[in-house]
Amino acid sequence: MIIESKRASFSVEQGLAQILAYLLGNSYTDKPSFGMIATGSEFIFVKLVKGNSPRYALSKGFLMRNPGNELYEVLRILKRLTQLVSA
């Protein structure tokens, strides 16, 4: 799990290239790699599957300013990712 943090004035997309570079540098090729880009008010999760042609997927954007405060969903996802990594 890799977390890339950017200032709130930046878009999470500005951290995408950097986090993909970190994920590609992961030496474990038999399992997917996961990451999160955060600005403090916006969060997005990234999954990278290595292979002959690496593929990545992005989650929806989670916003703290949305009704219901999506921070709880972000924390739920982080908890699930820790269970996947330790398995």
**Is the predicted pLDDT of residue 86 greater than 90, yes or no?**
no
Helix (H, G, I), strand (E, B) or coil at 82: helix
Q: What is the pLDDT of residue 81?
A: 86
Q: Where are the domains of the chain?
A: 2-86
Distance CA 81, CA 57 (A): 15
Q: What is the pLDDT of residue 1?
A: 63
- Strand pairing of 55-58 and 2-5? unpaired
What confidence score (pLDDT) does residue 8 get? 67
Name the DSSP letter for residue 18.
Answer: H
pTM: 0.79
Interval 15-73: pLDDT, tens: 888 899 999 888 777 888 999 998 888 889 999 998 888 999 999 988 877 777 788 88
